[in-house]
Structure 1
């Protein structure tokens, strides 16, 4: 779904506030813009943080008003494309967010996407995904909403450990959340 449950959001916000404010953020599969809405009120006004979104389903951009305006901060730049095919420069960011998106692709594709972010120079990566069996098919005509791989927390722990760096995590009843950092 283009939405996310509240579980883990407070934990994610604390990690965001604990690290140096990023100058650049890339939100992969923002859906309704959950993380922009959560994090942007906690960043300094000047100089601003540049937010990029990579959204595969174009109707979400207008439906959820993802483009920043003078009165509402959302995304400064939006790419309508499959992140697996995106240019690496989009991942060379201070923070790359994979919020409730990796379960929508095959396991190997998700791992390759995380590796792509690390290889491109991402300093921090936030991952949030269901850690319980959560079957889901197409939603509102969007076939990309189908859950393709069901992750468990130990599996994601291993994947992120293999990337090096340092990882903090939170396991909830439904979602697991990880903050990976290049800084040891």
Structure 2
């Protein structure tokens, strides 16, 4: 779904406040959960969104010419095909998005973000069985891979740097930082 549960959001916000990124790419923003949560805390951040499903842009007012947009820059495309410079940010957010692609594709996308120069990566994925198909006509909402928390630990540790995590009842959240 284009929404996310509250679990892990306070923890993520604490890390955001500690690192104070000036540039953020939000992969698969859906309704803009992280922009809504983080934007009021640290002003002057340049927000880039990469949204695969074009109808969400108007539905959730991700980019507007009439009012303040949630995103300063918005790309309608599959993040797996995005230019490397979009991941050269202080923070790249993969909030409830990696379960929507095959495991290998998610691994490669995380590696691409780190290789492109991401200083920090925030990941949130369900860590319990979470079967989901198409939602509201969006085939990209289907859950393709079920993540195990230990597995995500290993994937992010393989990027080098420092990894912090929290495991809730439903979601796991990870903050990977290039600065070890």
Partner in structure 2 of residue 94 of structure 1? 90
Partner in structure 2 of residue 22 of structure 1? 21
Partner in structure 1 of residue 3 of structure 2? 3
Partner in structure 2 of residue 168 of structure 1? 164
The Cα shift of 1:70 comes to 7.1
The Cα shift of 1:72 comes to 3.5
Partner in structure 2 of residue 32 of structure 1? 31
Partners in 1 of 2:149 and 2:127 — Cα distance? 6
The Cα shift of 1:16 comes to 0.4
Q: How well do the aligned residues superpose, as a CA RMSD in angstroms? A: 1.1
Partners in 2 of 1:122 and 1:62 — Cα distance? 28
The Cα shift of 1:18 comes to 1.1
- Residue of 57, 63, 67 corresponding to 1:67: 63
The Cα shift of 1:86 comes to 0.6
The Cα shift of 1:128 comes to 0.3
Partner in structure 1 of residue 77 of structure 2? 81
Within 5 A, what are the aligned runs for 1:73-152? Answer: 73-152=69-148
Cα pair 1:8 1:177 within 8 Å, conserved: yes
Within 5 A, what are the aligned runs for 1:33-52? Answer: 33-44=32-43, 48-52=44-48
TM-score by length of 2: 0.97
The Cα shift of 1:22 comes to 1.2
Cα pair 2:61 2:69 within 8 Å, conserved: no
CA deviations on 1:47-80 (whole Å, 9 max, x unpaired) are: x211000000000000000015675451000000
Query: Where do 5+ consecutive residues of structure 2 fail to align?
Result: none
Partners in 2 of 1:109 and 1:43 — Cα distance? 32
